[in-house]
Each structure stands twice: as C-alpha cells, then as structure tokens.
Amino acid sequence: EDQVTQSPEALRLQEGESSSLNCSYTVSGLRGLFWYRQDPGKGPEFLFTLYSAGEEKEKERLKATLTKKESFLHITAPKPEDSATYLCAVISSGSARQLTFGSGTQLTVLP
C-alpha cells in the first residue's frame, strides 16, 4: 500500500524567511509525484509533477525536487500570499490512476 508522509504538519515563517517542506513516500513503482496548494474551503491547485529522481521544477518562489525516497518543496523569500496548505501526492504502478495524498503542511507566512 502506498504511503505518503509530510512534515512538518504546520510551519510559520516570517516574510522573506526561506524554508523547505518534506514529503517522504513508500510506493511500489513511482509513476509520478505531485505537489498541490490548497487554500481554505477550496479545491487543491496543481503546482508540479516530478517523475524521476534528480528532477527539479520551479515556479516563482517555489522549487520542487525529488529523490528516490522523498521530495522537497523549497520556498524562497516567501510572501504572506504563499500561506496555504501544501499537499504532496503520488501515483504508483500499483494504484491504478488514483492519487495517494499526504496530510499536508499548513504554511503561514507572517508580514
């Protein structure tokens, strides 16, 4: 059974204070690792897909990286509008097409 664990559960940063969120996974044949952003009361918003170890993707202040056991979401010089819950999910060869999600990291960026 696929498992995804995210840490920390919650993170408070000052504006401009860079940090990283962790997503560790156990799957039978990774097909893709996905990062989503979710604002309160809304559906998840797609950010990145990573397919193989060593791959990196960037978007504005966010950078996602992937190893064989975990992924990191690096946030550089965050702004208050980056406050949200960040969700990590995987698709594996054993899970048909469904995403298996972690519980998320709730990020708060203080002005």
Contact 94, 39 (CB under 8 A): no
Residues 90-109, one symbol each (x = binds another protein by CB under 8 A, - = not), give: -x-x--xxxxxxxxx-----
Is the Cβ of residue 49 or residue 76 nearer to another protein in the bound state? 49
6-45 binders of another protein (CB under 8 A): 31-32, 34, 36, 41-45
Total number of residues that touch another protein (CB under 8 A): 26
Sole binder of another protein in the list 62, 89, 107, 109 (CB under 8 A) = 89
CB atoms inside a 10 Å sphere around CB 7: 13
87 binds another protein (CB under 8 A): yes
Q: What letters, b where the CB count within 10 A reaches 16 and e where it falls short, cover 77-92?
A: ebeeebbbbbbbbbbb
Helix (H, G, I), strand (E, B) or coil at 43: coil
Residue in the structure block whose two tokens are 């190893």: 67
> Where on the chain is the footprint of another protein (CB under 8 A)?
4, 31-32, 34, 36, 41-46, 49, 51, 87, 89, 91, 93, 96-104
